[in-house]
Structure 1
């Protein structure tokens, strides 16, 4: 008997949103925005709110709930893009750079965190490009098999409209997470040149998306997120 396919229901923001289904597990489909425009998604973002099923990550974020500045850059001829994340910690500006591999599905990206042997898939589930983007991260840590779901709200500015935040809360609830646990990051200002910088995160060699799904047979997740990286 064919297994029923469940869809992640998403609240419609304003007018109807056009989404495309991305298979992750045999009984799970993630909806991403159809006709996703990578070029419009690039540029400066701020991580203004976040929630995760990883207790360690949430504890660390509560201890330093600051807005993370993100700079996304893509070279048209390359199959990846870089994200430089910057935020204040202990009075210093910490910066990390991570490479994200593009996949065969628009609005879906992949990166590997060698420190935790974790594969992470990120999905742009909703964005109007000029104001906000709502992200869903699914990850799995190996060899433990620990899985994590993380949701992040990006804004082009260091603030976000109440209506957008309310829709983000709805998305969080639809993933089975209480919206009371959402961490709203605080504005500590932009990192400036000359502040302390950390070494870039070293990415693993690019992995074929098709091979990766066959290998994992489950959505990648992350139990111990990269410290203050603010990754997609």
Structure 2
């Protein structure tokens, strides 16, 4: 059993959101992701997918993509991204009956001596995007991370999956990293950064936490192993 990760699948159930308009690197990206996935991941593995799963606007359309993901090898832990407009309540997601998918939403996931927690996160307070209306969203996401980590607080080894990078625009750790430190998180995986955004990627050990960017185009659409 191993734990893998890949974020930002950006699947397109309708066929009106081709990602190659952003870069030639995205040509046939869905096919590349699935082929790489099948070639390395087994049914005994776990795959962390922190957000931007599908361009669908409604859950019934996202279900087309979710069923594709379910058929792939491994057990999948899925979190919400900023483009997952189809995301519904925890009860509605669980009622989809997707047995090989766990929707991480104000809860945690336990497997043997590992605990997995997470939330979407939000853009940092020092970014040009951040406005007064974002304060409420930012604080709510901080609370959701705490709620999730509380569910696995009795587990020795903790992994957080978050969509937005948990850093300020200047690269300094922000409030999300402070919460992770408080709960002795071992590894944090994140996505969201694409193309020119890769210059803002931070990886490696900071304050005892190993940060790994798993945005799909950053890792060449090839799920990476996080832990054996």
The two structures share one fold, judged by TM-score above 0.5: no
Larger RCO: 1 or 2 (CA < 8 Å, sep 6+): 1
Q: TM-score, normalised by structure 2?
A: 0.28
